């Protein structure tokens, strides 16, 4: 089964990103024909650009490779290295009614939040449709906020196919329903925009400082403590097996330890969990040319699919004369 996903290069990754998305992508590449790309063109629509964008693109590629995206198993590249996607974007624009884009929640939400609306923000779903339809995936795993964009891709594909025959494959979206929302340091959903993240990479001291800020109940040291509603416990359990979870529950119930102890423990298990990934990252940080090479050969692999598809589309749409 071919699975395709795009990743916006948007900054430091946190443990919500890891359990909500990256770990699943890494696990899925064992069984599927995985296509994953860094959506650097998409990042421009929310104001990213210049040297920052180039840096973020490399950082995101480095982080994903360190966390287990395997270029032997998956096709991993940067969106802008396969220019065919821009050509398809334009061709598909001619099959995209204005109303379809005007109804996009993501666009409307961003405008409502006061983000300056430009054309790239408005036409973002058409580029996303091109990303998808160029590679004919069976499934596109997405977060809930992106479901409508996959539906828009299906609508556009259907309109194109109505005109030219059964060329574009209508993708299915897949939302991982049983993935828990990882809480942030304040108990809300962990998110960059809430500034409540525990980041995967970074200095140890800084991570410990962040963990110490996690909001907890004020209960005297000797008394038993609630674990189910505790933000520290709820983060820790993501990293623990069943027995380790029970042991930690016992420590909460027993009393005699404060939340400071549990926070220290949480820091230790997170730090230990990501140790091998950190080491891999250290390697890639010192070998950025190797990362570039991996991305370039990923783009070459992606083009093997994109080029014949575009050729067919050019002929059908009359661009090839
Ligand atoms: P952020 O909210 O920090 O900006 P993104 O929107 O860039 O994160 O999310 C990237 C991916 O990580 C998405 O697939 C999203 O579903 C997942 N993700 C982000 N935060 C969490 C969380 N707190 N719990 C579970 N998954 C999350
Ligand atoms: N819009 C997606 C997001 O913000 C990223 C993305 C771009 C994407 N193109 C895609 C996801 C194609 C899946 C398929 O998360």
Q: What's the CATH number where 139 sits?
A: 3.40.50.620
Residue 194: inside a domain, yes or no?
A: no
Ligand nearest to the CA of 175: 1
Q: 267 and 161 in one domain? A: no
Mean per-residue pLDDT for 157-175?
Answer: 96
Q: 248 and 298 in one domain? A: no
Q: 141 and 108 in one domain? A: yes
Residue 150: inside a domain, yes or no?
A: yes
**Closest C-alpha residue for ligand 2 atom 11:** 6
Q: Mean pLDDT, the chain, as a whole number?
A: 95
How many structural domains is the chain composed of?
A: 2
pLDDT more than 70, % of the chain: 100
pLDDT at site 113: 87
Mutate to test the pocket of ligand 1, among 11, 26, 143, 192 (most ligand atoms within 8 A of CB): 143
Residue 181, SS3 per DSSP: coil
pLDDT at site 116: 82
Mutate to test the pocket of ligand 2, among 107, 126, 128 (most ligand atoms within 8 A of CB): 128
Residue 46 has pLDDT above 90, yes or no: no
Q: 146 and 30 in one domain? A: yes
Q: What's the CATH number where 220 sits?
A: 1.10.240.10
Residue 185: inside a domain, yes or no?
A: no
Residue 188: inside a domain, yes or no?
A: no
Judge if the beta carbon of residue 60 lies within 6 A of ligand 2: no
**What residues does 140 pair with on adjacent strands?**
173
pLDDT at site 77: 98
Residue 180's pLDDT band (cuts 50, 70, 90): confident
Residue 155's pLDDT band (cuts 50, 70, 90): very high
Residue 92 has pLDDT above 90, yes or no: yes
Q: 244 and 100 in one domain? A: no
- Ligand 1 atom showing the smallest separation from residue 143 Cα: 16
Q: 79 and 7 in one domain? A: yes
Residue 147 token pair: 């479901």
Residue 1 has pLDDT above 90, yes or no: yes
pLDDT at site 167: 97
pLDDT at site 203: 95
Q: Could you tell me the CA-to-CA distances from 54 to 146, 287, 290 in Å, in that order?
A: 24, 16, 16
Q: 294 and 267 in one domain? A: no
**Closest C-alpha residue for ligand 1 atom 21:** 16
């Amino acid at each position: 089964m071919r699975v395709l996903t795009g990743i916006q290069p948007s900054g430091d990754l946190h443990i919500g990103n890891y359990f909500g998305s990256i770990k699943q992508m890494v696990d899925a590449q064992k069984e599927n024909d995985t296509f994953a790309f860094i959506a650097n063109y998409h990042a421009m629509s929310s104001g990213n650009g210049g040297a920052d964008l180039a840096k973020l693109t490399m950082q995101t590629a480095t982080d994903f490779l360190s966390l287990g995206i395997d270029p032997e198993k998956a096709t991993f590249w940067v969106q802008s290295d396969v220019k065919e996607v821009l050509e398809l974007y334009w061709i598909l624009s001619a099959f995209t009614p204005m109303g379809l884009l005007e109804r996009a929640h993501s666009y409307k939400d961003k405008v409502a939040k006061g983000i300056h609306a430009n054309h790239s923000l408005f036409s973002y779903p058409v580029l996303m449709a091109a990303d998808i339809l160029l590679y004919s995936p069976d499934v596109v795993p997405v977060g809930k906020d992106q479901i409508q964009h996959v539906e828009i891709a299906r609508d556009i594909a259907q309109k194109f196919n109505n005109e030219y025959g059964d060329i574009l494959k209508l993708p299915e979206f897949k939302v991982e329903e049983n993935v828990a929302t990882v809480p942030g340091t304040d108990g809300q959903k962990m998110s960059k925009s809430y500034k409540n993240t525990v980041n995967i990479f970074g200095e140890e001291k800084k991570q410990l400082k962040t963990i110490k800020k996690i909001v907890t109940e004020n209960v005297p040291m000797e008394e038993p403590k609630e674990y189910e509603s505790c933000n520290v416990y709820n983060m820790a359990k993501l990293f623990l097996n069943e027995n380790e979870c029970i042991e930690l529950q016992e420590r909460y119930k027993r009393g005699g330890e404060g939340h400071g102890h549990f926070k220290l423990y949480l820091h230790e298990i997170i730090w230990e969990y990501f140790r091998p990934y950190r080491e891999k990252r250290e390697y890639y940080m010192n070998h950025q040319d190797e990362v570039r090479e991996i991305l370039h050969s990923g783009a070459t692999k992606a083009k093997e699919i994109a080029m014949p598809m575009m050729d067919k589309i050019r002929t059908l749409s009359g661009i090839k004369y």
